[in-house]
Structure 1
């Protein structure tokens, strides 16, 4: 029997924020995989190494966690006043499934650098030294993102002294602005309320804030579900009953938000919505052993991604946190002291993060014009990824 040789596809393996992913220029993909559809999904699944019943991604580029099982597709933008179109795919680990329903805020920090280095930006917009502003069209949620990319001698500056909790080494700071970050799937607050009651059969009734900002997110009070809000990954991820309970809460929340019409649909929509729990600021020790003082944070937040507690915080969820913190009466705002604010510093399992948001009332409804946070990004490897032609 004769087997075909592997495909060789130009690709770049990048870290963005606390995530890693495989980046592609869409024009470099095989023709059958350039448009959305089964051929594209099959190719990207094989690149990452999914589905993997062993949960290791040994035969692929994935890292067997929600933070490292990601793909990014970029192309020159066809939209006015934008430089690059950015499409994100969250790859399931043990299933043959890619979720295209939301953005990855962490990898957003790497989009501008890739676009500059791979000829997707008009040279006239690139500065030799200073900051190049990259206008990104986020195709999953149909939103504008502005990335501020540091440049030195005409090349992206990746090294620096900016430290990001959840990332081992310092790098250059990349400021990212999420313009009008309310998610593209409806109103910022689907019910019109900043807090709601979520009734989950056989589990209970919970006060929640459901928000479409950055990514659809359901916030609960940690105390209402038996947690302190200072938990690290092992406290949640080693408890199968807890994970199942969170998934049930997430599914019912998705139904109440109008993101799905049937609970079964939540199984095929693992990336969104996110579920998170909040608590007032308190002292704790991060996963790296760093002491976090209550005096240095406004509140603590823990969030789940793809069914597991995240080791730090998803960038898009950070946008949701910053947005909710800026709006009086949300669970996030109340946990942070219930005062008006334009920025918030929250504790997460790996440390702390600051995110800013500008909120105002327009015709009786809250509107957030933009959310801002700093991340970092760098190329880990570039060349060609090899994929069996099966």
Structure 2
């Protein structure tokens, strides 16, 4: 069946609406009632608006795929899910194909950073996310008796059946169950960060005080890009050198420290933009009229321009990784303290920053070989207490 589907039609859409939920799935031309019921149920469970939007697009892709096959969503079977996975593994991602022609080729590796650019197709994480959303939707549809008789998306099972890790003996090592059917292998990657020299070069490539203040705060505080863009004047404490941000996961207002240099650049930006007095409301604004609050895509464009100048491909999240690695490698910081500043729910999320950076390993390996070569070039040291002439004759060394 995968070979039958060559391209998905541009039918329906996910549109923003007033009320709850904040997003509506339209397919093909009217709201899709089962999808809306599920999104409304998720919204009542306090799922964020961005998550609802992401789930809506996953469902929309599934409806388009079934539309090409001519299969009603209530009659979908496991074979249709397998065909969807095969289609996603073989087809290009339309979002990746919309890149401007002056951007690096898809799938290439940046010569400066060593960081790969996006591939033309769907990433393994995207396919796994698609399957997770579909499984959750059909589980909801079965509970609400909306029509389907079985969940077409297979789930993870223990080796002998049942729920994974059920009745696990705490005295025995944990045996991780195999991946669920159709779930893709996700390559293990280390967090990408900027070396100190690269961070200095990036800072020098910025055009204005606003961009310098943003990058300085990202590099020193480790807050997420969207969290910093939501900063308000009343959440800045110049005396304590802290800012308050709404944490992405818990959505609670939390205080985060930053460097003194970051607050200097912030003060220069506020003075330049006429916001140096006491004020309320958003801190970050566009530079051109009509002035609007700075969005994530506009902030990302700042980094895209700097990348084009430097020949790099750093992302906004790399700045958070850089701040985290700097703190984790500082002997004055404990791992729990780094976890608190980054506001990770689990310390296991912070442990990934203890891995050494490739740039540091390359430098240490070069120094290691240089020291070995220098030690080999030195003349042998004669042990104290032996006659040099007798030792040279015994070892066959020149006198």
- Classify the TM-score, shorter chain: 0.3 to 0.5
Q: Which structure has the larger Rg over C-alpha atoms?
A: 2
More relative contact order in 1 or in 2 (CA 8 Å, sep 6+)? 1
